[in-house]
A and B are shown apart, each in its own frame.
Chain A
Amino acid sequence: GAVVSQHPSWVICKSGTSVKIECRSLDFQATTMFWYRQFPKQSLMLMATSNEGSKATYEQGVEKDKFLINHASLTLSTLTVTSAHPEDSSFYICSAMSSASSYEQYFGPGTRLTVT
């Protein structure tokens, strides 16, 4: 149980285009989802917290107009990188937490974004 999927697993896009990444909890309802960014050989940096039916809470320094987050249902959150630039290239990982799990976050497999 407690499986989180992400789609796509990798994507290459051109500068100026937008990319949408989906995060789904497959076998549980996720009241809260988190979006992280991880640079090579570095730690996970929390970008935003997403709660179903409400606006996402962004961490300091994360542009909310650039990284659009939508948590439309208890099993799906999406991250859209708008007007992507090469410096947005990174590994984006989501995690999901259920009300029944008591703190444990279940991570998705991540999405590798490369902006050319």
Chain B
Amino acid sequence: GQQVMQIPQYQHVQEGEDFTTYCNSSTTLSNIQWYKQRPGGHPVFLIQLVKSGEVKKQKRLTFQFGEAKKNSSLHITATQTTDVGTYFCAGDGGSNYKLTFGKGTLLTVNP
């Protein structure tokens, strides 16, 4: 079945440093989505990438979808303490909108 690998598992940064998490799917995806889960909370939708090579920005967050639609990345510029949480990528293989989640990257930010 479809597998989605995500690295790193943990990332600790100083406030102001950049952060990147990477996602790789074993199969070509219809689209990929990114979610953020704060400690004790539930996943919150951040963005969806559909097109090959797509790049989208949300303020300090930059999302990329690979040309082969099998990998993706999330980059945060100049992290802030409010960025703390676990970032999940979730791949949609095109089968009834089912998402396969990566294991997530837990980001902690030292003020």
Q: Is A46 an interface residue (CB 8 A)?
A: yes
Binary B-proximity of A75-107 (CB < 8 A = 1, otherwise 0): 000000000000000000101010000111111
Q: How many residues of A contact B (CB 8 A)?
A: 23
Q: Contact residue range for chain B?
A: 20 to 34
Name which residue of chain B comes closest to A51, CB basis.
B96
In the bound complex, CA of A63 to CA of B106 (Å) = 30
Within 8 A of A (CB), among B78-110: 88, 92, 96-104, 106
Structural contact, A103 and B43, CB atoms closer than 8 A: no
* A93 B100 Cβ-Cβ under 8 A: no
Q: Are B88 and A49 in contact (CB under 8 A)?
A: no
Q: Which of A33-59 contact B (CB under 8 A)?
A: 34, 41-46, 49, 57
Q: Identify 18 new A-B residue pairs, CB closer than 8 A, beyond the known A102-B48, A103-B97.
A: A32-B96, A34-B98, A34-B99, A42-B104, A43-B104, A44-B88, A44-B101, A46-B99, A49-B96, A103-B31, A103-B33, A103-B92, A104-B33, A104-B48, A105-B45, A107-B42, A107-B44, A108-B42
